[in-house]
Structure 1
Amino acid sequence: MWMDIHGHDSIAERFARTLRDGRLASTYLFVGPGGVGKRMFARRLAKCLLCTGTPATELEACDQCESCQLMDADNHPDLLEVGLLKDKRTLILEQFVGDDEHRNRAGLCHDISLKPYLGRHRVAVIDCADTFNNSTANALLKTLEEPPPRSVIILVGTSEARQLSTIRSRSQIVRFAPLEPAMLAQLLVENELVDNTQVAQTVSELAEGSLDQAVAMADEALWQVHTRAVELLNQPVIDSVKLAVMVHDYSNSAGKEAGPRRTALLQVLGLVARHYRRHLRAAPASPEVPRLLRRIDRCLDAEYQVDRNVHLQTVIQAWADDLARS
């Protein structure tokens, strides 16, 4: 297990070979399910690249040098991190080129161009790469096309399909696989995220390799919604009104703020999509496959609408009606 990260030793070996061969790229795009350790891997990789106590050809960190100590303190001047700001649904232009007063004299594109202060590189980790819009992608484009010397940019997203073509085409893709259920259950128990071994095993089987999803599904309220939703979805005729009311009530229970309510709705939509994917995996030759695929696609469409701030009640009712008709 590389640097206490579960399940991605093959990717670590790939980077180890890259460093040994002196072929480190300037831009990587990490894709894979949420909650499998992509961002953690990116930060551990950054620590190795910035470490001054080990040879540049080795994927290791000494944990003793000033650079490693600053990394451990989350205070390294050569590590640049960008992610969603509070109450924002997309990465914004100011994060990359500065505000109007400091345009092109602040932001990630400016900072990554500076010479390293301590380490061998300047490393940028851009989280939530799925949320780039055209303006932010265009702001980053010149940096990706003409990367500064000794710079490494790591973008973290969930799938290639969600990346803008301008970003995807200029990045080396690194695909992270889902974690195995047994590993998920072990992580839940070891990190005291779940205090019941049986619950840990059950949610790990349903979480499709995502630790984030396993933790969310262990929540009693969400688990109750999952149970009731499965009962409705398994009926010959889906009661769309009852399904919509149940999901709407759960979303509203997250509070008055729009952000938590969207998150709650996305959790339910993800559970329903998983329900249909399990049926699909269990009977891949069934005549029901076209219907299952339509319903999975409808869940994904609803997730997209939530991400784009469509009115939640409208999303829920239209989604439930479409599932009942499909």
Structure 2
Amino acid sequence: MQSVLGHDDAKDRFRRTLANGRLASTYLFVGPAGVGKRYFAERLAAALLCPRRDGASLEACGVCENCRLTAAGTHPDLLRVARPEGKTTLPVDLFIGPADRRNREGLCHDIALRPLVADRRVAIIDDADDFSVETANCLLKTLEEPPPGSLLILIGTSLARQLSTIRSRSQIVRFGRLEATEVASILCRQPDPLEPADAERLAAIAEGSVSRALELAEGQLDQARETLLRRLASPRLDANDLARVFEEETKAVATEPRIRRRAMRELLAATIATLHARLSTAADDPASVDALLRQLEACFEAESALGRNANQSAVVQSLAQQLARRAG
């Protein structure tokens, strides 16, 4: 996996596993968002489907028919499932088919079919954090009795967000944050590459996440973040002014609600990081520590509200008021 930067522990683990012929049927990849878990899964799948792969190598040849199909996203033995836009959980239909085609379509049906081109079938299930109990139960039989030669890779962010029925039946593979130099290198290799100076600047504040760096590069999010941080640096916070900054800066990034919500999450993350940094230097001042903890609590409440698709303007107004009030 020369094209995969970082994650050497995961690479070594799979090399040993393949060398010993002990590949499990289900793996759960967990780690921060945007560090390359899905890309690692795609590269691993490509290697496993490539007939020219050499032994324990994690490198696909890149030129055979299987590799061309995988690269084009049309390999019939590579199945992909992800939470649809606008949904809060993985729908049951993705796993057992719609009501009029129950158990005749969906991932659980498709993974059990004989491979069409390769010698195995691989399924990548994104958004594993968003399994509902009902959907997880649909997958339970497949996890307990995996079809011969099949491989399932589930991608989530933390074990705490996984249902016990999923967690207990999976081999856990942990992914850490990327180094800033690795993030910068990836940003320069994108189809629409960033200038090296911009890549380094964004990588330095992206906390090891390529997706976060790319979001910062979109629209005016980078500038929005800097404007917010200047306001937060003021000795006194005005609730109305702070709410206006949140509202106007997210609107400057995009007018489309979904992207504005993402921008708001990024501004929240920047606020939380700022408050954490202040907390580390305020240990000798109990009053400051208490105020900072209350502000962090307000940020976490706002994050939770955004996750429930609460009205963004209402979330912003409430957050600004609590940050200003609790600063005192």
Query: Same fold by TM (over 0.5)?
Result: yes
How has the CA–CA distance of structure 1 residues 254 and 94 changed in structure 2, closer, same or farther, with 3 Å as cutoff? farther
CA contact (8 A) 2:128 2:154 kept: yes
Deviation at 1:79, TM superposition (A): 0.4
Q: 1:217 to 1:55 in 2, by over 3 A?
A: closer
Deviation, structure 1 residue 110:
0.9
Per-residue CA deviation, residues 294-319 of structure 1 (Å, 9 max, x unaligned), is 54454343223212211222222222
Residue 13 of structure 1 corresponds to 12
Q: State the distance in 2 between where 1:321 and 1:278 align.
A: 21
Instruction: Specify the alignment match of 1:266 in structure 2.
Output: 265
Q: Report the CA distance shift for 1:278/1:182 in structure 2 as closer, same or farther (over 3 A).
A: farther
Deviation of 1:254 after TM superposition, in Å, equals: 5.3
The alpha carbon displacement at 1:6 in A equals 0.7
Checking the alignment, whether the CA contact within 8 Å between 2:184 and 2:196 is kept in structure 1 is: no
**How far apart are 1:30 and its partner, in Å?**
1.1
- Within the alignment, does 1:218 sit opposite 2:217 as a pair? yes
- Structure 2 counterpart of 1:195, one-letter code: E
Shift of 1:106: 0.4
Aligned to 2:240: 241
Matches within 5 A, 1:256-295: 257-280=256-279, 283=281, 287=285, 291-295=291-295
Q: Measured at CA, do residues 159 and 291 of structure 1 come closer, stay the same or move farther in structure 2, by a change above 3 Å?
A: farther
Cα deviations by residue, 1:101-149 (Å, 9 ceiling, x for unpaired): 1011101111111122222321110112222222222222222222222
Shift of 1:88: 2.9
Q: How many residues align?
A: 323
**Unaligned 5+ runs, structure 1:** none
Alignment check: 8 A CA contact 1:302 1:315 kept: yes
Letter in 2 for 1:59: L
- After superposition, the Cα gap between the structure-2 partners of 1:72 and 1:279, relative to the gap in structure 1 and judged at 3 Å, is same
Fraction of identical pairs, as percent:
46
Could you tell me which residue of structure 1 aligns to residue 158 of structure 2? 159
> More deviation in 72-81 or 83-92?
83-92
Give the partner amino acid of 2:162: Q
Moved more, 157-166 or 176-185: 157-166
1:73 aligns with 2:72: yes
Change (3 A) 1:120 1:126: same
> After superposition, what is the alpha-carbon deviation per residue over 1:183-213, rounded to whole angstroms, capped at 9, x for unaligned?
222332344543261x333322211001111
Worse-matched range after superposition: 53-62 or 63-72:
53-62
**Please, what TM-score do these two structures have when normalized by structure 2?**
0.88
Q: Distance in 2 between matches of 1:284 and 1:128?
A: 37
Contact 1:83 1:91 in 2 (8 A): yes
Asked if the contact 1:50/1:67 (under 8 Å) is kept, the reply is yes
**Letter matched to residue 305 of structure 2:** Q
Residue 108 of structure 1: aligned partner: 107
- The CA deviation at 1:95 is 0.9
Name the CA distance, whole Å, in 2 between partners of 1:263 and 1:276: 20
Map 1:162-201 to 2 at 5 A: 162-191=161-190, 193-195=193-195, 197=197, 199-201=198-200
Q: Aligned partners of 2:254, 2:187: CA distance in 1, in Å?
A: 26
Separation of aligned partners in 2, 1:137 and 1:294: 36
1:146-179 CA distances to partner (integer Å, 9 max, x unpaired)? Answer: 2222111111122222222322222222111111
Q: Which secondary structure state, in structure 2, belongs to the residue aligned with residue 45 of structure 1?
A: helix
> What secondary structure, in the 3-state scheme, does the structure 2 residue paired with 1:154 have?
strand
Partner in structure 1 of residue 299 of structure 2: 299
In structure 2, C-alpha distance between the alignment counterparts of 1:291 and 1:42, rounded to whole Å? 43
The separation in 1 between residues aligned to 2:19 and 2:295, in whole angstroms, is 47
Specify the SS of the correspondent of 1:80: strand
Q: Give the drift of 1:41.
A: 0.4
Residue pair 1:53, 1:64 contacting (<8 A) in 2 also: no
1:37-66 Cα distance to aligned partner (Å, 9 max, x none): 111100110111112123554433233433
Q: TM-score, normalised by structure 1?
A: 0.89
Counterpart residue type for residue 309 of structure 1: N
> C-alpha distance in 2, partners of 1:7/1:193?
19
Alignment correspondent of 2:122: 123
Cα distance, 1:103–1:132 mapped onto 2, change above 3 Å: same
Partner of 1:317: 317
**Helix, strand or coil at the partner of 1:81:** strand
Summarize the alignment of residues 16-35 of structure 1 with structure 2, pairs less than 5 Å apart: 16-35=15-34
Are the counterparts in 1 of residues 220 and 253 from structure 2 also a CA contact under 8 Å?
no
Unaligned runs of 5+ in 2: none
2:26–2:171 CA contact under 8 A, matched in 1: yes
Measure, in 2, the Cα distance between the counterparts of 1:245 and 1:278. 24
Structure 1 residue matching 2:2: 3-state secondary structure: helix
